[in-house]
Amino acid sequence: MNVVEVRDLTKSFKVRKPDKESGPIRNLLRPRWEYREALSGLSFSVAEGEIVGLLGSNGAGKSTTMKCLCGILLPTSGSVRVSGLDPFRDRAGALRELGVVFGQKTTLWWDVPVIETYRLLRRIYDVSQHDFDRVLENVTEVLGLADFLHTSVRQLSLGQRVRADLGAAFLHRPKVLFLDEPTIGLDVAAKSRLREFVKRIRDETGVTILLTTHDLRDIELLSDRIILIDKGGKLFEGTLAETIARFSPYTTVKVELSEDIHGPFEVPGALAGLESPLTAWVRFRREDLPITEVTGHLMRHYPVRDFTVEEPRIEEIVRQFYTDGLEIPVP
């Protein structure tokens, strides 16, 4: 069952249109306006218990999508449903179904200890004391909140604050969790703890998670499926394996030779070449050529001392997408 449904979503913003011919005073007093589309016919769905990564370069529309899903922004057209509810028109009902973490913003009260914010959220969401104590114990253990649970938010480091925000988002046991750049600015240890929490709560509670991030290790370690968007529209949707097969279907074998070879370095059906007298490479499509056939040919025809198999990573694919678009060149 789909918990998140986005259909033909568009969002336009009215922005000031620069006029180079007019001076700054005229632009201030008599501004000209234009409409710019942040989202253009975006459609996707997220199934119950699924972790989906929403990827795109800066300005692609990720945060705007998140804000429409949370009910912060009213879509210009199209429809958004979270657990069957319109998050803008039925905000109170939808907010009981979802939790939100924006990596660069906090939902915590700035001048009071973290635990006091948690207690207030318990009353806002009408969570029983028994359920609150049980969830609080869980998030405190997994996120490592014990050391600063009674510290005011303004005294927390960025990593501590994001962990406390994530705990706050899950206190009322939402069915859907939206994470917008949750690991931004965090150190390695804090990222690892956050990822552990996300995986654990999904496995234990079946919560549905939509994640945006520029840290592609988050995607590799957490996501069941990814959605690539650009200029407010969807470009591709699929599992990590499908993404790799679609945009980088090549495996590379690095070969270390025990002695120089005389003549060309060749493997039938594959691209191959020498990098130096004692090192070589082979690149081939996994769908066309079994790796056992490649390695068998190498062992039979060349003095191989060692070889390593390099499979493509989603990080390299998305980095290439950010810089050059969807056509992934073959070296």
Backbone angles phi, psi at 329, to 5 degrees: -70, 150
Same fold, 2-244 and 249-311: no
Question: CATH assignment of 2-244?
Answer: 3.40.50.300
Long-range contacts, 103-108 (Cβ 8 Å, 24+): 103/162, 103/179, 103/180, 103/181, 103/182, 103/183, 103/184, 103/185, 104/181, 104/184, 106/153, 106/161, 106/165, 107/165, 107/168, 107/169, 108/153, 108/161, 108/164, 108/165, 108/168
Total number of residues shown for the chain: 331
Nearest Cα residue to 69 out of 191, 179, 205, 216: 179
Identify the pLDDT of residue 254.
92
Which bin fits 71, alpha (ψ -120 to 50), beta or left (φ > 0)?
left
**pLDDT tens per residue across all 331 residues of the chain:** 889 999 999 999 988 777 666 666 666 777 777 888 899 999 999 999 999 999 888 888 898 999 999 999 999 999 999 999 999 999 888 888 999 988 778 889 989 999 999 999 999 999 999 999 999 998 898 888 999 999 999 999 888 898 899 999 999 999 999 998 888 777 888 888 888 888 888 998 899 999 988 877 888 888 999 998 888 899 888 888 788 777 777 888 999 999 988 778 999 989 899 988 889 999 988 778 888 899 999 999 999 999 998 877 776 777 666 666 555 333 3
**Structure confidence at residue 330 (pLDDT):** 38
What are the domain boundaries of the chain? Answer: 2-244, 249-311
Tokens of 49: 């218990």
Single-letter residue type at 227 = I
What is the architecture, at CATH level 2, of domain 249-311?
Answer: 2-Layer Sandwich (3.30)
Q: Are 221 and 195 in contact (CB under 8 A)?
A: yes
Residue 273 three-state SS: strand
Instruction: Show the DSSP H helices in 146-187 as ranges.
Output: 158-169
- Phi, psi dihedrals of residue 178, rounded to the nearest 5°: -105, 120
- Percent of the chain at pLDDT > 70 equals 92
Structure tokens at 72: 């912060």
Place of tokens 């070879």: 261
In the DSSP assignment, the letter for residue 155 is G
The model's pLDDT over 317-328, given as tens digits with 9 standing for 90+, comes to 776 666 665 553
Tens of pLDDT, residues 276-293? 888 999 998 877 888 889
Asked whether the CA dihedral 81, 87, 92, 95 is positive or negative, the reply is positive
CA distances (Å), origin 160, targets 108, 111, 163, 331? 12, 15, 5, 43
Residues 6+ apart with CB under 8 A from 260: 277, 278
Report strand pairing: 304-310 vs 250-257: antiparallel
